[in-house]
Amino acid sequence: QVQLVESGGGVVQPGRSLGLACEASGFTLRTWPMHWVRQAPGKGLDWVSAVSPDGKNQYYADSVKGRFTVSRDNSKNMVYLQMNSLRPEDTAVYYCARQAGAFDVWGQGTMVTVSS
């Protein structure tokens, strides 16, 4: 069964850091570009970041550039999002998603709350 499972969410103070993880199963991770998409409470979908299949290329939304870092370990079937200098506006459910052109597989999401 093709599946993505995110973890690492929680409550963090502004300016602090948090790391998210996404575990893939049921497919060969190393052949797929992977993305992070977030959704603030009651709001729409907001693309955050992407990483190429070999991990060599990373892409970021302007709103997170310089603060977030995406990476992957294909040997462990894992994708990561390191979030630094967090802001209240980063509060959202964070989804990882597989890119097959469009995003055909999504994880269940992990909630990140940035609040003092």
Partner 1 sequence: EIVLTQSPGTLSLSPGERATLSCRASQIVTSAYLAWYQQKPGQVPRLLIYGASTRATGIPDRFSGSGSRTDFTLTISRLEPEDFAVYYCQQYSSTPRTFGQGTRVEIK
Contacts with partner 1, residue ranges (CB under 8 A): 35, 37, 44-47, 50, 59, 61-62, 95, 99, 101-104, 106-109
Task: Give CA–CA dist 53/31, Å, rounded.
Answer: 5
Task: Give CA–CA dist 102/116, Å, rounded.
Answer: 36
Burial of 112 (0-12, 13-18, 19+ CB in 10 A): buried
Q: Which lies closer to partner 1 via its Cβ, residue 86 or residue 107?
A: 107
Q: Which lies closer to partner 1 via its Cβ, residue 80 or residue 95?
A: 95
CB of residue 116 to partner 1, shortest distance in Å: 27
φ and ψ at residue 82, rounded to 5 degrees: -95, 125
Q: Which lies closer to partner 1 via its Cβ, residue 12 or residue 36?
A: 36
Q: Which lies closer to partner 1 via its Cβ, residue 3 or residue 115?
A: 3
DSSP conformational letter for 106: E
CB of residue 50 to partner 1, shortest distance in Å: 7
CB of residue 75 to partner 1, shortest distance in Å: 26
Task: Give CA–CA dist 107/95, Å, rounded.
Answer: 6
CB of residue 83 to partner 1, shortest distance in Å: 17
